[in-house]
Amino acid sequence: MKPPPFYYAAPATVSEALSLLSEHRESEPRVLAGGQSLVPLMNFRLAHPTHVIDLNKVTELSFLRSDDGRLTIGAMTRQAVLERSAEVRLGAPLLAEAAGMIAHEPIRHRGTVGGSIAHADPAAELPAVALAMDAELVAASGRGERVIPATEFFLGPFTTALEPDEVLTEVRLPAAPGTGYAFVEFSRTHGNFALVGVAALLELDGDRIGRAALALCGAGPCALRVTEAERLLAGASPDGDAIGEAAEVAAAGLTPSSDAHASGEFKLRLTRIYVQRALETALARAQDRR
Amino acid sequence: MPETPMSPTPMSQRHRITVTVNGQSHEREVESRRLLVDFLRDDLHLKGAHIGCEHGVCGTCTVLCNGESIRSCITFAVQADGAEITTVEALASGAVLHPLQEAFWEKQGLQCGFCTPGMLLRAYEMLQRDPDPDAATVREGIASNLCRCTGYQFIVDAVLDGAERMRAGASAAAASGSAETVDS
Ligand SMILES: Cc1cc2nc3c(=O)[nH]c(=O)nc-3n(C[C@H](O)[C@H](O)[C@H](O)COP(=O)(O)OP(=O)(O)OC[C@H]3O[C@@H](n4cnc5c(N)ncnc54)[C@H](O)[C@@H]3O)c2cc1C
Ligand code: FES
Ligand code: FES
């Protein structure tokens, strides 16, 4: 199908975009980024915004900056840039690994970092990465700018802490030198949305596990952090069965929904197995990196 | 930036765009909701890009936008203002097929042909970056595009054969000192 008619504007700056959003707030304007989720929804007429504000000409939102290992990524940075960037591979290898699993390259050529995070598909990779990395998400509106911790950003399926007049402008990732990382996922076919995905970060402290961060996608109503499993890992010996126990704890209490692709029970089983794999890989990489 | 910001009805808001398609510049007026694939097929009468799923899944609408493959069914024409678009029509010159097309012909890299324009452009893009890929790389690369007929094996064979032809063409051109490249 084709979308119904809509007003379209392509501002060149963030401030122009923000004034358009506030000027037309009665009409509930929609921001257009890569369009790789929004336009399919519009073609299906599941979304029918009457006002579309296209951010593709806002060049100031398309950047990658790294200072002291701390990465800042503009919201309009294409997903394809992540996997090709040496800065990302070095500063946020978890993000580089996850980016390669988003859809296929032609989608990643247009799909953006900010779009994926703002869209908040429960099965999307980047929200889980943002959570595991303790990302800070910067939102701008006519009222100013605020910084939202990733842990307070994802509220439910396709629901975030962003207000209707806010634009996500950048994603800030803290430096994590020497940390082992892994993003693993199970999907039915190559390049499809994952049934379950796991982002893991693991630091060693002497011969013990120091800090661990673990986030899931596909296993709940939105991406989520599994802090109980993280606590269990902190201080544990990597040689024992801490990882196996953490995988059990991570899955306990989750009730993933059944859908056309898999039963909730199967997703739970996947969660256990993939948490285990993610932690094992992250541990091996942490040991390698010393 | 469109000239008619928020006119009385969204229908009446039209945008004058200039798009370079296969090296030729086109100026047209489009509605906001005009999809790039419909612009190419219906306004420019370039029927190469096909329409399959219309939601980004199948890849038969693939075109190159400033050299990168995109789905033209989930991009609006107004967003292509100022861009360079390449469609499958750019590959052959007149009746002479591009080496990649010859390879598809000879290796039977198609049956019904519905996926072929997208497959060709995706393969072409891949070979620009990596002129000598192995079968696994080709398989991974074309995984973005669906084919309901061939089972993909013949397409992988065709892309590998096409790569060889393109490399041979490139080195022959270099040997003869010609500035002409095979992909022109
Ligand atoms: C075939 C196919 C397969 C896919 N597979 C995957 C996959 O495996 N994993 C995955 O994660 N994704 C997948 N995607 C989705 C893809 O990653 C999208 O690019 C992403 O979900 C949305 O990003 P976008 O830039 O395209 O945003 P858009 O589609 O333009 O926007 C999505 C939503 O976010 C809002 N938005 C966008 N940017 C901002 C901003 N800066 N501030 C505020 N709001 C904003 C929009 O208003 C809209 O509501 C797939 C898409 C397709 C078509
Ligand atoms: S028609 Fe565009 S991806 Fe299927
Ligand atoms: S040849 Fe028929 S879809 Fe590929």
Give per-residue pLDDT as tens, A63-94: 999 988 799 999 999 999 999 999 999 999 99
Q: What is residue B174's predicted lDDT score, i.e. its pLDDT?
A: 84
How far apart CA A127 and CA A41 sit, in angstroms, is 20
Task: Looking at the structure, tell me whether residues B56 and B114 fall in a common domain.
Answer: no
Domain that holds residue B32: 14-90
At residue A141, does pLDDT exceed 80?
Answer: yes
Specify if B8 maps to a domain.
Answer: no
Final residue in a domain of this structure, among B90, B117, B132: B90
Question: B141 with B73, same domain?
Answer: no
- DSSP reduced 3-state for A61: helix
> What pLDDT score does B1 carry?
45
pLDDT higher than threshold 80 for residue B74: yes
Q: How confident is the model at residue A240 (pLDDT cuts 50, 70, 90)?
A: confident
The predicted model gives B126-134 an average pLDDT of: 97
Residue B7 domain flag: no
Q: Quickly list DSSP for A91-152.
A: H-HHHHHHHTTSS-HHHHHH-BHHHHHHHT-TT-HHHHHHHHTT-EEEEEETTEEEEEEGGG
In a domain, residue B1? The reply is no
Nearest to B79 among A36, A51, A54 (CB): A54
Count how many domains chain B has: 2
Distance from CA of B59 to the nearest CA of A (A): 9
Residue B106 included in any domain: yes
The DSSP result for A202-260, as a single string, is EEEETTEEEEEEEEEESSSSS-EE-HHHHHHHTT--TTTTHHHHHHHHHHTT--PPP-S
Looking at the domain assignment, is residue B39 inside a domain? yes
Q: Tell whether the model's pLDDT for residue B178 goes beyond 60.
A: no
Q: Are residues B104 and B86 in the same domain?
A: no
> Sorting pLDDT into bands at 50, 70 and 90, what band is B7?
low
Domain boundary among B90, B113, B142: B90
Considering the domain boundaries, does residue B141 fall inside one? yes
Distance of CA A52 from the midpoint of ligand 2 (Å): 22
Q: For residue A38, is pLDDT > 50? A: yes
Residues B83, B27, single domain; the answer is yes
Q: What is the CA(B157)–ligand 3 centre distance, in A?
A: 15
Residue B143 has pLDDT above 60, yes or no: yes
End-to-end CA distance of chain B: 32
Q: Which two tokens stand for residue B68?
A: 């990168």
Q: What is the CATH number of the domain that holds B144?
A: 1.10.150.120
SS3 A54: strand
Output the six-digit token pair for B55: 């939601």
Q: Report whether A115 contacts A34 (CB < 8 A).
A: yes
Nearest Cα residue to A132 out of A204, A200, A43: A200
A190 touches chain B (CB under 8 A): yes
Beta-carbon separation of B79 and A4 below 8 A: no
In chain A, the residue whose alpha carbon lies closest to the alpha carbon of B13 is A7
Residues B86 and B20 in one domain: yes
Contact A35 B54 (CB under 8 A): no
- Any chain B CB within 8 A of the CB of A105? yes
Q: What is the mean pLDDT of chain B?
A: 92
Predicted local distance difference test score (pLDDT) of residue B182? 43
Nearest chain B Cα distance for residue A28, angstroms? 14
CATH of the domain at B53: 3.10.20.30
For residue B5, name the pLDDT band (cuts at 50, 70, 90): low
Q: Does residue B6 fall inside a structural domain?
A: no
Cβ atoms of A247 and A277 within 8 Å: the answer is no
Same domain, B108 and B72: no
CA B137, B138, B139, B142 torsion-angle sign: positive
Q: What is the DSSP letter of B72?
A: G
The whole-number pLDDT of residue B172 equals 86
Quick check: helix, strand or coil at residue A271?
A: helix
Of A12-16, A38-42, A187-191, the least confident: A187-191
B109 and B79 co-located in one domain:
no
d(CA A85, CA B146): 28
* Alpha carbon nearest to ligand 3 atom 4, residue: B147
The mean pLDDT value for A24-47 works out to 96
Q: Are residue B173 and residue B104 in the same domain, yes or no? A: yes
d(CA A95, CA A92): 5
- Residue B83 sits in the same domain as residue B24: yes
* Among the partner residues B5, B78, B144, nearest to A106 by beta-carbon distance: B144
- This complex has an ipTM of 0.93
Count of H-run helices and E-run strands, chain A: 11, 14
Strand partners, A64: A73
| Claim to verify: residue B40 and residue B72 sit in the same structural domain | yes
Residue type for position A142: G
What is this structure's pTM? 0.95
Residue B58 in any domain: the answer is: yes
Whether the per-residue pLDDT at A37 is higher than 70: the answer is: yes
pLDDT band, very low/low/confident/very high, at B3 (cuts 50, 70, 90): very low
B33, B63, B90 - which closes a domain: B90
Structure confidence at residue A178 (pLDDT): 77
Q: Does A46 touch chain B (CB under 8 A)?
A: no
Q: Amino acid identity, residue A102?
A: I
In this predicted structure, the answer to whether residue A177 has a pLDDT above a threshold of 80 is no
Please tell me whether residues B106 and B172 are part of one structural domain: yes
Whether A3 and chain B come into contact, CB under 8 Å, resolves to: yes
